[in-house]
Amino acid sequence: MILHATDHGAGAPIILLHGLYGAAQNLGMIARALGDGRVIALDARNHGASPHAPDMGYRTLTADVIETMDALNVAEAVLIGHSMGGKTAMMVSLMHPARVRALAVLDIAPVIYDHAETRAELIDALAALPLMPGLTRQQANAHLAKAIPDPALRGFLLNNLRLSHADVPTWRIDLAAIKAALPMLTGWADPQPLVAYDGPSLFLRGAHSAYVPPDAIGEIQRRFPRAMIETVANAGHWLHAEQPDAVNEALNHFLIPILRPCAEPRARLNPSP
């Protein structure tokens, strides 16, 4: 599948891959901060403006990225992915290492998860929202408040709702396809037990997030032997939204020697352990 792409700039390609229930625009702060290349933000299948289809395993998401790179004449790119997009980026690097110049992963590891925000009950709550002409975002927010008490999560999910005063509102995300794929998306389809990506890689984790626990560090290092692992202070799973300056600084510090090998590396203001 060729994915919907937002393509800006010139030079070395950098591909951004968003997380579950998101869209390319969720990584806009990162895209705007990357001034040293051609930045391509993709909507995953069943998300944003990309086509819908039932299969959402990571091998399929990987094939979508490769097919889209081919369509955009991108032979090799830096991949930056958050959450589901991070797992997809890892899988691309493991299955197609020659296509990945460098890898940056935001708050996810190559392990199996079971987190509340990815459970079927969340999708059921969205699917139960009465869709009728004239529905407002405030009404939708109030209807979902009991099932999804976290206002930040509720607001994030409601970004996927297309509202219309004349027509019936619709969801940009394919709720049925995502619900069916949850076991695969929270899992990890091992490409080959002994495969590793030996290119430069950066793993950023939120200090207040449980997505990259200490026992996942060894698996990251086994799969990505050149990985640098850093913790972003005062950040949870959506670290790029909660601490954009720190995340952008870490990404640029990582990428400058890769995109501009002759450039002098900039000193870090607050390097993370």
What residues are labeled active site?
A: 83, 237
Rounded Cα distance between 266 and 3, Å, is 35
- For strands 170-171 and 161-162, give the pairing: antiparallel
Q: Which of 20, 11, 19, 24 is CA-nearest to residue 50?
A: 24
CB contact at 8 A, 101 and 77: yes
Instruction: Say if residue 71 is exposed, middle or buried (CB neighbours under 10 Å; 0-12, 13-18, 19+).
Output: exposed
Mapping DSSP to helix (H, G, I), strand (E, B) and coil, where does residue 262 land? coil
CB contact at 8 A, 91 and 100: no
For residues 21, 25, 26, 29, the Cα torsion angle rounded to the nearest 10 degrees is 170
DSSP states of 124-167: HHHHTS---TT--HHHHHHHHTTTS--HHHHHHHHTTEEP-SSS
Rounded Cα distance between 5 and 67, Å, is 12
CB contact at 8 A, 125 and 157: no
Neighbours of 97 (CB within 10 A): 14
CB contact at 8 A, 87 and 188: yes
SS3 content of the chain, % helix, strand, coil (to 5): 40, 15, 45
